[in-house]
Amino acid sequence: MSPSLSACFCLGLCLGRVIQAQLGLLPKPSLQAQPTSLVPWKTQVTLRCQGPPGVDLYRLENLRSGRYENKAVKVIQEMTPDLAGPYRCSYQNGSRWSSPSEQLKLVVTGVYEKPTLTAQPSPAVSPGGDVTLHCHSTFGFDCYALYKTGDKGPNKGTDRWYQADFPITTVTAAHSGTYHCYSFSSQEPYMWSAPSDPLELVVTGTTVTLSRVPAGAPSAVTEPSRNNITIFTERPISPTGILGNLVRICFGVVILIFLVGILAEDWYSRKKSLQYLDRAVHRPLPPLPQTQK
CATH of 22-109, one of 2.60.40.10, 3.20.130.10, 3.40.190.150, 2.60.260.20: 2.60.40.10
Q: What do you get for the CA distance between the two ends of the chain, in Å?
A: 76
Q: Which spans in 44-141 are helix H?
A: none
Please state, in angstroms and rounded to a whole number, the distance separating the CA atoms of residues 26 and 127: 48
Cα within 13 Å of Cα(176), Cβ side: 11
Element (H, E) at 262: helix 239-278
Average pLDDT, integer, range 62-87: 96
pTM exceeding 0.75: no
Element (H, E) at 123: none
pLDDT at 9 over 70: no
Please state, in angstroms and rounded to a whole number, the distance separating the CA atoms of residues 202 and 127: 10
pLDDT of residue 4: 46
**pLDDT interval class at 117 (50, 70, 90):** very high
pLDDT of residue 220: 33
pLDDT of residue 207: 39
pLDDT at 42 over 80: yes
pLDDT of residue 132: 95
pLDDT at 88 over 80: yes
Contact 74/46 with Cβ under 8 angstroms? Answer: yes
How far is the CA of 195 from the CAs of 32, 81, 137, 167, in angstroms?
A: 22, 16, 11, 19
Q: Which of 165-179, 191-205, 273-287 has the lowest mean pLDDT?
A: 273-287
pLDDT of residue 189: 94
Average pLDDT, integer, range 165-175: 93
- The per-residue pLDDT for range 269-293, each reduced to its tens digit, is 555 444 444 433 455 666 666 654 4
pLDDT at 60 over 50: yes
pLDDT of residue 270: 57
Burial 24-48 (b: 16+ CB within 10 A, else e): eebebbebebeeebbbbbeeebebb
pLDDT of residue 277: 41
pLDDT of residue 246: 72
What number of other Cβ atoms are within 10 A of residue 116's Cβ?
A: 15
Q: Give 135's strand partners.
A: 117, 164
pLDDT at 107 over 90: yes
Query: Where do the domains of the chain lie?
Result: 22-109, 113-203
Fold (topology level) of 113-203? Immunoglobulin-like (2.60.40)
264 vs 94 pLDDT, higher one: 94
Please state, in angstroms and rounded to a whole number, the distance separating the CA atoms of residues 58 and 155: 32
Percentage with pLDDT > 70 across the chain: 64
Q: Give 272's strand partners.
A: none
pLDDT of residue 210: 31
DSSP letter, residue 13: H
Topology match between the domains 22-109 and 113-203: yes
Average pLDDT, integer, range 246-252: 73
231 vs 127 pLDDT, higher one: 127
What is the pLDDT of the chain when averaged over all its residues? 77
pLDDT of residue 163: 87
